[in-house]
Amino acid sequence: MKLILCTTDAPSGDQTGHQMAYATTNPATGKVEKTFETLSDAALGAILDETVCCFREDWPHRPIAERAAILKRAAKIIRDEQQSIAEIMTRDMGKLIAQAIGELQLSAAILDYYADTAANFLAPKAPPGALAATLHAQPLGALLAVEPWNFPFFQLARVAGPQLMVGNVIVAKHASNVPQSALAFEDVLRRAGVPAGAYADIFATTDQVGTIIDDPRIRGVTLTGSEKAGATVAERAARSLKKSVLELGGSDPMIVLEDAPFDTTVLNAMVGRMNNTGQSCVATKRMIVVGEERGRQFLEAMTAAMASLTPGDPLDASTTLGPVSSEGALQGLLKQVEAAHTGGATVALGGERIDRPGSYLQATILTDITPDNPVYRQELFGPVLSFYVVPDEAAAIALANDVPFGLGGSVFTADLERGKRVALAIESGMAFVNSPTWSTPQMPFGGVKNSGYGRELSQLGFGEFVNWKLLAVSPAGSPPPGAETAG
Ligand code: NAP
């Protein structure tokens, strides 16, 4: 193995290279605002060296309280500068400015929460019944985090908060369409006191991501993104026996039972489907209403609510329908809607590009989607609601589970016990009663089936890259184990 001398002065700001793949293309205007070159292999190697040195000699050896104070400073910077950071995120990927600010507040809360709880999470534990044995939390080392554009700060915070408190160090490859958000997050951590070797953002190519995964300096990989990217990265990690965590796509059902209160259920469905212009892995992608008459009423109400959204500049606080993240994303959604229609679905609302600059899709509702329709089992990652009416609870559960995904799901009802029973019957990593799937710093996040494996956030996510090392201590002069039964 290569000997690394821990005196490297890594050119972490020197992102010199060959490719201009990272760019802010404002989806509200279609204009390319800024481009960035990808890293040279030499610069990337130096960053990995610095990361390993930081792990070996610095970051995990600092007292938990010192790491916590740094993360709390980062949370404060995010809150103090939320308006300017939110504008960067909105320019990168088009989210409504108020939702960008909400995301930053959640990101700051995540950093605070893990700073506050780490000492407790990391305290040694005694395995029940095992006398004189304890488990000690040790960090694994340098992790690669591959992240998507849809929540540009939250996705990074939910890796960095817990993992930096564990004592791991992170190399982060953010999506190529949110480079300024990626730099802003790194800048916040740096100003708070996180050393360059403990968190480094890299503008890496897909090929370089593969090379980084193979590199013995990297000890684990976490990816949030599509099934395709997840499978590629997990396969590569498995080849060198590295642990991976995958947070992938979803097609969350929202089951509306006969007794669900009408108005609040519509409000929840709107937030569940339209938050982040529908570009959330846990968005309410399929609304499943029990009962013909209620189905008709809910469709009417959802059509009116979605039709009332006002497209406009996402930086303008009065806009309620922003662009989708890119022209490519818009074209993909238009193709899915067209294929749904050709396959027999009814486009009950919208379905077309909005005639204005930028990548805007009308708020869209699809009905009459049969199991042979291509969109029946696909994820619709944008402002498109699939609307179903079923005769009873059993049919609702069967439909909810008839997709390859298993991320989140929700049930709306006045009967909480029934709601819990139905929610537990949804094949998913998360299920909510009377709320769309949501994320807080305290709750674990993750799925089953093609939505991935492993968890982020909570004690579960915190522990994904921890070596819970067994320490068993016997008194000096003890006989060898098994001696008393060895005959
Ligand atoms: P994506 O194409 O998979 O991109 C996600 C990240 O993976 C980006 O950084 C991307 O880099 C990188 N990437 C793509 N292909 C790769 C490969 N072959 N090898 C290594 N890295 C690769 O995902 P997306 O379509 O932008 O994001 C939307 C998807 O993410 C949806 O399916 C959504 O549901 C899912 N998602 C899941 C969660 C969750 O927590 N479960 C949260 C948010 C989003 P480039 O940008 O450079 O291509």
Domains identified in the chain and CATH numbers:
22-248+451-470 (3.40.605.10), 252-433 (3.40.309.10)
| Per-10-residue mean pLDDT, the chain, length 487 | 47 39 97 97 98 98 98 98 98 98 98 98 91 94 98 98 98 98 98 98 98 98 98 98 98 98 98 98 98 98 98 98 98 98 98 98 98 98 98 98 98 98 98 97 98 96 96 94 67
Check pocket membership of 154 for ligand 1, CB cut-off 6 A: no
**Separation of 33 CA from ligand 1 center, angstroms?**
22
Check pocket membership of 50 for ligand 1, CB cut-off 6 A: no
- Ligand 1, atom 42, lies closest to the CA of 281
Check pocket membership of 23 for ligand 1, CB cut-off 6 A: no
- Ligand 1, atom 18, lies closest to the CA of 229
**Separation of 226 CA from ligand 1 center, angstroms?**
5
Question: Crossing angle, helix 179-192 and helix 82-93, to 10 degrees?
Answer: 150
Check pocket membership of 252 for ligand 1, CB cut-off 6 A: no
pTM above 0.85, yes or no: yes
